[in-house]
Structure formats: structure tokens, C-alpha cells
Structure 1
């Protein structure tokens, strides 16, 4: 059974925390738990709605990972301290804005009407519920090593727990007629990548009777005719009067030649990734170096499954560091390059690598980085950094790399 985040949140606050929350917001006596549960259920419904796109799900995973830094170990102490409450609500306000976007005002109005609170108190309640819920989600993400798919499953599991807690009218504010419709939007996995050539049309339906033997027979006759034609000797004029005689033998299968090290192209090392180490320090050192190599790439520590663009939670610290560096250097513009291993169809690899790069770009723009400073490029399997014949090599080739496009120190 899925973790019940509402129950976990209420248990975490405890009677002392709920009492302090009620006093801070001026809630009627004995109404603190029900009011908080309604606010928390509203937050979870908003998260379920935001998980309707891969970029939204990535943003939620990023927020959950960052929430690990919040100290909510003593809720009662926070709720009784004006300074700590102000700080908590600032964090919560950012979370609410990101989760609900332009629907925020309508959601607050719905919560106000449902609980009979003033608009300011309903807003404060939502701003408190959001970081509490996000902190719990962050702990589960970290302890269970959840990736985007795992987070989607966690959120889908909350449907039964919030069904009777969400305020009337909330779903219509989120553009859904019922909770099932909202849950159906949630992205659980990306479309699998084909492992071979993509069929341009569906396979033919099975025939019954003699018809099912007709096509195999025609194909066999066609193959025999082709082999017969290839075996014939034909006389062809090469333009000089000489006669070219074709070989009688029909080659069915040819063993690939052993690679010749003398003719095998050597990979271009000018595009080689940075050495393994701390991404932030290496990238900052690179920017500080006036003679930096413009072609150098910096791989982010992001790992992807073979068929998807859903990074795991441990992959996000480098993205957060990149966001910080972009904020520190307003004159910096970058390209995010997506790379895949060589398995499957090349066209599908190209699309997959582009979607991965765009997902990372979305994380940056959602954090406030201007979209004009970031480009997303899909490279596919064209630039491997490791041997694609091993699983370890494939994992290294499934990567996201950063390159500087322009940099003006300010």
C-alpha cells in the first residue's frame, strides 16, 4: 500500500504542532487537524495535477530533493516563532506558486470558502502545508531512491487518501471533473524506445484458409527467381570493349572483417568531457580561465534508464549547482546536450536525447533562468564517451553535458 502522506503529515506535527498552528492562524478550537488536512490535501491534488507532464514531474522531483534542507523537526517551535513562521511561509509561497501557477488565486478562494477562513489565513495555511508535505515527499524520495517514475507512483497512491479531504470546487479549478481524471494525467513512464527499425505501418492481419499460404509462397518464388537471376552470367560492355563477367556464386552472408586498428578512426578528444569530480568547482574554474577551450563539455551527474528521460533523485544536485552558477553569472549562456547509448533506432535515439536535454532545460527555466540563455540539443548516440558494447559504457553514454555558448563577465 502506498504511503499515506496526509497521515504522515498529521502524525509529524503531533498535537502540540497542530495546537500551535491553530493558535498562529486563529483557527477555531478543535479545527486545526481538519483544516491542516484540507490544506495538505489541496497541495497533493495540485502536485498530482502538475505531474501531468514530464517537465512538471521533473520540477516536483527537484523541489522535493531541495526540501531535504528544510528543518521541520520541531513544528511547534516553528509555529510559535514569528521569525520562523515568516521564513517558512516564504518557502511555502514559492512552492505554492510553482505547484499551482496561474491557478493559485482560484485555489486559495476555494480553500477560503471551504474552511470559512479569511483569504489571508487560507493563504497562510496553504503556505505552511506545502513545505510540510514537500519535506515528507523529499524524505521518501531520498530514502527510497525514487526517480520521476517513482514519484509519479507515490503521488498516484495518494488519490484514495485525499479523496474525502479536498475542498469542493478544487478539481474544477484544476480543470478536472473528478479525481480519476486528474490522476489519469499523471506521467508514469516515457514512451519506450524501439529496439530496431520502426515499422511504417501495422503488421498484416492473420489470414485463414488457403490465403495464409499465398503470401509465403509468393515470397519464396520471388526469392528463387532473384537467386536465379543473380546466378546467371551476363555480358556487359564497360565502354572500352572489354567484357565483364559476373561471378556465378551467390553470396548469402558475409562475415564482417576484423577491425583494422590502422584504419579505425580515433575519437576526437577536443570534445572530451571533463574529468570525473566536482562539477561546480570544475565549471567555475573553467569560467575563471581566460584561455578556456570553447569545445569543452561538462557532464552533469544525471543517470537515465535505457528507454526514458526520468532522472533519479540523486541526479539533481548538479542541476541545482548549475542553476546557482547561472544566477551568479548573468552573462553566461549555455547549451544542454543530450546523449544516448547506441541501442535501438537512431531516429528514436535522437528524439530521446532531445527530450532529456529539454527536461533539464525546463528545470533551469522553472528555477528562474531566462530561456534565452539556455538551448537544448539532442545529439543521440553520435558522440559516445565509452564503449557501447558494455552495460557500464552504455550508462556513461546516456548523459547530459553542458557547454558554454557565450560568456560575458560582468
Structure 2
């Protein structure tokens, strides 16, 4: 059974939270739940729309992961406290800016017309709904260990829950004729890898579950190219003003492991094992290298990163090192890098080459999706080339399956 995030959000607020929300915003008596549902459904529609490109989907995964630090465990208390409400709405404003961009004001007008509210109240409502929804999505991403493909599937599952709650005119503001049209853009593929155990048959490509939207050419390539490689830098406040939800507040409806209903619940994973380095911490070692005027050219810096078996979309556990790389790139505008993907020597060399390219490109999209200019990042697939360990042992194969970062050029 698919998770109903809209219902989870309403249940989390409860009658006390909804009442406090209505009082804080001056909503008509008895209208708090319907108003909040409209706002939350609109936020979910915005997320589904943004998931139409890999760069957008990567940004959503980053935002959802960061949102787990917010404290929304007592919504009624937050809505009754003016200072905490301002903090929550600041966070919500950042989320809405990332989701809707320059369409945000138009979205507020749609909400105003649908609910009969003035623009100030509709904007406040949306700034509250956004962090509530995003925190729930973040908890689901974390509890299920979802990668970009899993997040896409989660958002696709919301279509039936929000279709009767989104206000008239919202889809027009988002440039879509229907939710189905949005859903058709929300698909992420992973690349199959031929192994020695399946030399005569190619395994089927993993998909988001809606087969009619598969693009044969992109299956062959193994990864969707970003539709928008120049996404704006999108930041979400980490909620230091005290804005998060206890883990046990989320009701997660999970299919049993390996079930056909939810193949993304417990994906097999394959960890990339980092090479030995000075401290073992990517950010520390990379910054020290950049600060060294006598640095060795071409030095490899491995990312601790995890992919589904034979897949190209990084899992949630991969985000810390990728986010650290994004921060280093933002700190050093004169830094250009190359991201290289490697595999072990098992299986077909051509399939290994494609898989290494797809994985390197997936990491590159996460970096550029955070606002780093595309001209500063290259992605290269190296296949089984340049092994750093013995491919005849399992330990050696693990070391050879890696993603590394190299400096292409650096001007301080």
C-alpha cells in the first residue's frame, strides 16, 4: 500500500494542531483541516512537478534529507508561539522558493482564490504546509533508505491522494495540463550490469514501475540526462530555530521486504569502499589538498557512496560526502573537478563501462543540481580500468568499485 503523505500530515497535526493553526492564521471556524489539506496537496504537486528532471529530483532528495533535523513534534505548541511560527515560516519560504521559483506568487493567488483568503494568509498557510510535508517525506526517505529512484516512486504514489485536493488553476501555474502529464516526466532509470552469472541474458532495467514511460534509448544509455542542468542553487534552512519531528511521529506503511508492491523498500546495495587517505574523511582531506601549494596532480579522492546493485542512482547514505563536495565547490569558485566511476572486472566490459559512466553522471547531477555550474564538473566512466586492488578476491573487487573526485583545474 502506497504511503499517503497528505493523510499522514493531517493526522500528525491532529485536532489540536489544526485548531492552533486556524487561530494563528485567523481561518474561518471549522476550515483549518480543509485549508491545510489544500496547501499540503499543492506542495506535493510542486514536488511531483520538480521531480520531472534528474537535477530537480536530486535537489528534492537533498532537501528531504536535511528536513529530518526540523522539530515538528508538537505542532500545536509551535503554532501558538509567534517566534517559532516565524522560524517555521522562514524554513517554509525557502522550501517554496526551491519548489516553485518565480511562480510562487502565482501559487499563492491560486490558494487565495480557492480558499477565500487574502494573499498574506494564503502565503502563511503555504509556508507552514511546506516544511510539514517535506519533513514527512524526509522521514520516509530515511526510514526506507530511498534513493532518487525510490523518491520518484514515492512522489508518483501521491497522485491519487492529492488529485481531489489541489485547487483549480494550480496545474496551469505549474505549466501542466494534468497530474498525469507531471507523472509522465517523473521517471528515473538505472543501468543493468551483465555479470558472469548471467552472460547469456541481459537483466531487465530497474524502473519506477510505470513501463509505458520508458525510453528505449535512455535504457541503453542507462541514465536520464538532466532536462535542466543549470538549476538554481536551492537551500533549505536546517531549522536551528527549533523546527522537527520525532521519529516515532511518522507512521510508515511499508510493504514486506522484497515484495512486488514496493520493490524500492529494501534494495540490495553495493558499497563503494574508499581508498586509504590521510584521515579517511573526504572533506578534510580534499580541503587539505587544495590548501597545499605543492599538491600532487591527479590525486584521487574517493567518495563514500552507495548504489543499488547494478543501479546508477546513489542511496541516501551517499549524501554526506556528496554534500561535502558541493560545499567545497561553493567555497572555491575557481575549482573545476572530474568525477570518475570505476567497476571491478567481473562481467561484460561494455556493460561495466556504461554502468561506471551512469554512476559518475548521477553524482555529477547531484552536484550541479545544487547550483554548481555545469562547466565546472565533468563525469567520466572508466569501467574496470586502473584497478587499485586484486580483482581475483572479493575484497579487491570491492575496492575497485569506486567513485573518485579529481581536480581538473584550480584557481584560488
Question: Which TM-score bucket, shorter chain as reference?
Answer: 0.7 to 0.9
Structure 2 partner of 1:151 = 151
Matched, 1:277 2:247: no
Matched, 1:174 2:177: no
Question: What aligned pairs does 1:171-320 form with structure 2 within 5 A after superposition?
Answer: 171-193=171-193, 274=277, 277-320=280-323
Alpha-carbon distance change, 127 to 326 in structure 1, aligned in 2, over 3 angstroms:
same
Distance 2:95 2:289 in 1: 33
Distance 2:376 2:347 in 1: 32
Provide Cα deviations, 1:256-285, integer angstroms capped at 9, x if missing partner: xxxxxxxxxxxxxxxx76367222222222
Distance 1:111 1:160 in 2: 20
Distance 1:179 1:347 in 2: 38
DSSP-derived class of the 1:292 partner: coil
Matched, 1:45 2:45: yes
| Aligned partner of 1:356 among 356, 359, 362 | 359
Structure 1 partner of 2:31 = 31
Structure 1 partner of 2:336 = 333
Distance 1:43 1:396 in 2: 42
Structure 1 partner of 2:66 = 66
How far off is 1:40 after superposition?
0.9
Alpha-carbon distance change, 109 to 404 in structure 1, aligned in 2, over 3 angstroms:
same
DSSP-derived class of the 2:382 partner: strand
Provide Cα deviations, 1:173-217, integer angstroms capped at 9, x if missing partner: 334333233223222532535666999xxxxxxxxxxxxxxxxxx
After alignment, is 299-308 or 190-199 more displaced? Answer: 190-199
Provide Cα deviations, 1:306-358, integer angstroms capped at 9, x if missing partner: 43221111110111122222333334332222333445554454444333333
Alpha-carbon distance change, 100 to 308 in structure 1, aligned in 2, over 3 angstroms:
farther
Structure 1 partner of 2:248 = none
Alpha-carbon distance change, 367 to 55 in structure 1, aligned in 2, over 3 angstroms:
closer
Distance 1:406 1:187 in 2: 34
How far off is 1:39 after superposition?
1.0
Distance 1:280 1:364 in 2: 15
Distance 2:33 2:330 in 1: 40
Structure 2 partner of 1:88 = 88
Alpha-carbon distance change, 13 to 328 in structure 1, aligned in 2, over 3 angstroms:
same
Distance 2:396 2:162 in 1: 44
Provide Cα deviations, 1:88-113, integer angstroms capped at 9, x if missing partner: 22222222222234543443332222
Alpha-carbon distance change, 331 to 399 in structure 1, aligned in 2, over 3 angstroms:
same
Distance 1:60 1:391 in 2: 35
Contact 1:273 1:296 in 2 (8 A): no
Contact 1:64 1:141 in 2 (8 A): yes
Q: Which has the larger radius of gyration?
A: 1
Distance 2:279 2:201 in 1: 36
Structure 1 partner of 2:213 = none
Contact 1:304 1:398 in 2 (8 A): no
Contact 1:107 1:173 in 2 (8 A): yes
Q: Normalization by structure 1: what TM-score?
A: 0.73
- The alignment covers a number of residue pairs equal to 338
After alignment, is 169-178 or 12-21 more displaced? Answer: 169-178
Matched, 1:141 2:144: no
Distance 1:124 1:179 in 2: 25
Structure 1 partner of 2:18 = 18
DSSP-derived class of the 1:303 partner: strand
Distance 2:154 2:125 in 1: 23
Provide Cα deviations, 1:336-389, integer angstroms capped at 9, x if missing partner: 223334455544544443333333233223323333433333333323334445
Contact 1:303 1:398 in 2 (8 A): no
DSSP-derived class of the 1:304 partner: strand
Q: Normalization by structure 2: what TM-score?
A: 0.73
Distance 1:113 1:141 in 2: 33
Distance 1:98 1:19 in 2: 28
DSSP-derived class of the 1:316 partner: helix
After alignment, is 310-319 or 92-101 more displaced? Answer: 92-101
* RMSD across aligned positions (CA): 2.9
The structure showing larger relative contact order (alpha-carbon pairs under 8 Å, at least 6 residues apart) is: 2
| Aligned partner of 1:377 among 355, 376, 380 | 380
How far off is 1:36 after superposition?
1.0
How far off is 1:120 after superposition?
3.0
Alpha-carbon distance change, 143 to 361 in structure 1, aligned in 2, over 3 angstroms:
same
